[in-house]
Structure 1
Amino acid sequence: MPLHRRQLLVAAAGLGLPPSSLRAAPPAILLARVAAPDIDPAPYLVSEKLDGVRALWDGRELRFRSGRTIPAPEALVARLPPQPLDGELWLGRGRFDALAAIVRKAVPVAAEWQALRYMVFEAPAAAGDFAQRHAQLQQWVGAARHPQLYAVEQTRVADRAALQRELRRVLAAGGEGLMLHRNDAPLLHGRSDALLKLKPVLDAEAQIVAHVGGRGRLAGQLGALELQTPQGLRFRLGSGLPDALRREPPPLGATVTYAYRALTPAGLPRFASFVAVREDL
């Protein structure tokens, strides 16, 4: 079975290899686009949008979407099926920060990991369209009998009114929104209309390129993060930054998730607020 990250670091050092050798190329995965508010759900299977950390199982190792090995305890990975899986490590609604603190530790704490679930939604090695792959995924998960492994529930929604009712139900329970995956979609990579996210508030990711000093009560601390989007646009993000992060800012180059309501004509986010530093990217 895979070695823990600390063992791999020791082995790499003994071979004269840098720690960065533990990073594989980023895996090819499907990424969601934003759904129109009036989307017709008929061609889709619908599931709850989970606020978790993307995790790719290749049959031997669990990796972040960046390609880095996830330092998961042996108790979790030893009982995963041999087939590749795509999903998210999840601790529960509204608990992303606690989840990130657990999974980013170089040496995993087994007791902390026991509360996590590996929620899988794709079976890259299965044949057929998404509905057929999901059926195969359910069989593999059932056969594994792993107490922390779950197949994300996928349901058909009759019409737009029913979709909005389901969205309201998930939001009332503390969830983020819904995911819509075309049931007839082949296995795809990259950002695609085959996978859509439906949320009342949008989110996106950008890279930290500068720290902006604070003024007044924030003198001597971080006032804002200057971010650059994947399209090369820059903007400052100051709203929602927690006090601990203002005292110890995340490093340049780190990736941040932010929430926003809409885009300006220039493509910049309106009413952007900080959500999290993405340790998994």
Structure 2
Amino acid sequence: MDEKALTRRRLLQLLPAWVTTGAGLPASARERGDDAAEPPPALLLAREAPDDIDPAGYLVSEKYDGVRALWDGQRLRFRSGAPVPAPQAFLSRLPPQPLDGELWLERGRFSTLAGLVKRQGAQAADWAGIRYQLFELPGAPGSFEERARALAALVADLDAPALRAVPQERVSDRAALQRKLREVVNAGGEGLMLHRADAPYVAGRSGLLLKLKPQQDAEGVVVAQRFGAEGRMRGLLVALRLRLPEGREFLLGSGFSEALRRDPPPLGSVVSYRHRGWSASGLPRFASFRRVEPGF
């Protein structure tokens, strides 16, 4: 499968025009000056790591189940380019330097987090538990290891408890990496990130950044919904047709809660799903719904 085709920018190109341009939105949305039409920021995106990856040459950190957010020195934005409606009290503590990281609550609380970070008019108290887990200084010179040290020093100098530099560490060998993966997953974490220590700052999907998880995950755009016609499933969601970043489509029919079957993700929304690798035709194997991605 063409990894390059899986970039966030390509995924956004598949969204219906009314999602990315605001055409057809209620006048109130246009009058608010909603920023959804702004192109997404250029970010480094991870590829899947093979199960037997050798961690030599990488810095390893936990993969946080949060919401990706880029601070450009003036604005905090989702991966889609839309502004994060964070309280001014939160934004005022951010430095003038660009930052890249995940808005995060704690392990196992993604659904609560997603509701909070999308809420218009949120107050400082609403964001009291949210942390901005930082792992990159966009555009900064030097290797990733040097940028990670600079980021840690920057956060240490700031009087901002909501900011945290994600710990980056060397792992001695494959066995130690698998032990660390099991520890994180058993504690409720998602997995690990491996970033080449000598990597310059780049954007796009790259082998310089890898994610290691018990199961793989991916994203697609909802282009159709299928509902049951009779029996217990009458009128309830039975499958979503998803369009993948390279244009292929497939039916996702498992992993839905009862609440989601009654109130399914709308057309044009971006959802993520777990799967166990790719078939010869480039479609995910044993795919199961994971969540609706916020910020779209």
Q: TM-score, normalised by structure 1?
A: 0.91
State the shift of 1:17 in Å.
Answer: 5.7
User: What is the one-letter code of the residue matched to 1:163?
Assistant: L
Residue correspondence of structure 1 range 22-171 to structure 2 within 5 A: 23-171=37-185
Q: Within the alignment, does 1:242 sit opposite 2:245 as a pair? A: no
User: What is the one-letter code of the residue matched to 1:209?
Assistant: V
Residue of structure 2 equivalent to 1:5:
none
Return the alpha-carbon distance in structure 2 between the equivalents of residues 189 and 33 of structure 1: 13
Return the alpha-carbon distance in structure 1 between the equivalents of residues 118 and 56 of structure 2: 39
User: What is the one-letter code of the residue matched to 1:191?
Assistant: R
Evaluate the alpha carbon distance shift between residue 136 and residue 23 of structure 1 in structure 2; reply closer, same or farther with a 3 A threshold: farther
State the shift of 1:19 in Å.
Answer: 3.2
Aligned 8 A contact 1:23 1:69 in 2: no
Q: Within the alignment, does 1:259 sit opposite 2:288 as a pair? A: no
Return the alpha-carbon distance in structure 2 between the equivalents of residues 123 and 246 of structure 1: 41
Return the alpha-carbon distance in structure 1 between the equivalents of residues 158 and 204 of structure 2: 29
- Is 162-171 or 239-248 further displaced after alignment? 239-248
Which string of whole-angstrom CA distances, capped at 9 and with x for unpartnered residues, describes residues 96-147 of structure 1? 1111011111221432210110000000142201001111111111111201
Return the alpha-carbon distance in structure 2 between the equivalents of residues 22 and 234 of structure 1: 25
Residue of structure 2 equivalent to 1:208:
222
Return the alpha-carbon distance in structure 2 between the equivalents of residues 105 and 21 of structure 1: 15
- Is 209-218 or 157-166 further displaced after alignment? 209-218
Return the alpha-carbon distance in structure 2 between the equivalents of residues 23 and 109 of structure 1: 26
User: What is the one-letter code of the residue matched to 1:249?
Assistant: P
Overall identity of the aligned pairs, in %: 57
Evaluate the alpha carbon distance shift between residue 22 and residue 210 of structure 1 in structure 2; reply closer, same or farther with a 3 A threshold: closer
Return the alpha-carbon distance in structure 2 between the equivalents of residues 47 and 62 of structure 1: 23
Aligned 8 A contact 2:53 2:174 in 1: yes
Residue of structure 2 equivalent to 1:223:
238
Return the alpha-carbon distance in structure 2 between the equivalents of residues 224 and 265 of structure 1: 22
Q: TM-score, normalised by structure 2?
A: 0.87
Q: Could you say what the CA RMSD is over the residues aligned between the two structures, in angstroms?
A: 1.6
Return the alpha-carbon distance in structure 1 between the equivalents of residues 150 and 107 of structure 2: 27
Aligned 8 A contact 2:226 2:240 in 1: yes
User: What is the one-letter code of the residue matched to 1:218?
Assistant: M
- Is 215-224 or 167-176 further displaced after alignment? 215-224
Aligned length: 268
Return the alpha-carbon distance in structure 2 between the equivalents of residues 125 and 139 of structure 1: 17
Aligned 8 A contact 1:129 1:185 in 2: yes
Residue of structure 2 equivalent to 1:279:
294
State the shift of 1:20 in Å.
Answer: 4.0
Return the alpha-carbon distance in structure 2 between the equivalents of residues 213 and 27 of structure 1: 36
- Structure 2 gap segments, 5+ residues each: 1-26
User: What is the one-letter code of the residue matched to 1:59?
Assistant: G
Aligned 8 A contact 2:35 2:81 in 1: no
Return the alpha-carbon distance in structure 2 between the equivalents of residues 67 and 93 of structure 1: 25
SS at match of 1:263: coil
Which string of whole-angstrom CA distances, capped at 9 and with x for unpartnered residues, describes residues 226-258 of structure 1? 111101111111211112221122211100000
Return the alpha-carbon distance in structure 1 between the equivalents of residues 244 and 139 of structure 2: 32
- Structure 1 gap segments, 5+ residues each: 1-12
